[in-house]
Amino acid sequence: MRFLSYCSFSDKRLLCVQRLKVVIKKWLTLIILMEMGKRLKESRNFVRDFFIQRHPDAESSL
């Protein structure tokens, strides 16, 4: 809801639109980074589990 305050106090419509674009880009970047982080974590767990399946005695060393 913070982006609404940008518009309400702005006299110029163009400035408001530019600020909205910046806020939207920041949110999209944040969401994309969070998704990439989740996938990285999942793939790391997959590699670890695969390694443990191949080398059961190595589980204690991880």
What is the domain partition of the chain in residue ranges? 2-54
Express each pLDDT in 45-55 by its tens digit: 888 888 888 88
Residue 24 has pLDDT above 80, yes or no: yes
* Cα of 29 vs its chain's centroid, Å: 7
* Cβ neighbours, 10 Å, residue 26: 10
Question: 3-state class of 1 per DSSP?
Answer: coil
**What's the pLDDT at 9?**
54
pTM over 0.75: no
Determine the Cα–Cα distance for residues 19 and 26; give it in Å rounded to an integer: 11
Residue 35 has pLDDT above 90, yes or no: yes
